Homo-oligomer: A and B are copies of this chain.
């Protein structure tokens, strides 16, 4: 094991430090968030700091970087109060990564990178048609963090999931949709099932649940 103190990291250039700290906390769920600005132009951004807050009410939150670094998604969500979260798969990961480029406000990233907007069920915000797991979200609250980032908390309104991944107990086996994870600033990984366990109890060993 190599040991690094926070003083070691502070002495590095900012790119090396960003790579290291972004990787350190682990693989992250990576999705495209779609939103629409006040002029009606749609926007796509890559987001990977996504957390499950609770199932009832169904709340999902994500971190938006500081406004000067990533202004469009948060601004559009403030204006419209709605957005969609769309899983990324290997078939379009290169197009998805291109959405992390800093396009000027008013550029439609669907057109720029070649992904397909999918409007349905009167939600008025497009989903990414190529995605096999899509969430329609309503803004609940935006919490400013100490470092200029924001925790954007949303309520789940619609979910669209490829049938192949759905289990009878509600579990969604996202290996069957090839939903990806990302690492650091620029790396994408595929995921394979290892083991599913029964609910852990203090007095006995967990059993195995088949995938």
Contact = CB atoms under 8 A, between A and B. Distances in A.
A156 interface: yes
A200 interface: yes
> DSSP majority for the A interface?
mixed
Interface in A144-166: 145-149, 151, 153, 155-163, 166
A33 to B, nearest CB: 12
Given A16-B170, A55-B21, A141 B146 contact: yes
Given A15-B169, A156-B6, A171-B23, A189 B200 contact: no
Nearest to A148: B54
A17 B52 CA distance: 13
A48 to B, nearest CB: 8
A103 interface: yes
Nearest to A179: B26
Contacts of A27: 27, 29, 174, 179, 181, 191
Contacts of A192: 189-192
27 contacts: A1-B162, A9-B156, A9-B159, A10-B56, A12-B170, A15-B169, A17-B55, A17-B170, A20-B170, A21-B54, A21-B55, A23-B172, A26-B174, A27-B174, A28-B52, A49-B51, A53-B63, A54-B147, A97-B197, A98-B206, A99-B200, A102-B202, A103-B202, A173-B187, A180-B194, A181-B181, A192-B192
Sorted nearest first, the 7 A-B pairs with minimum C-beta distance are A26-B29, A19-B170, A16-B170, A23-B172, A20-B170, A101-B200, A21-B55
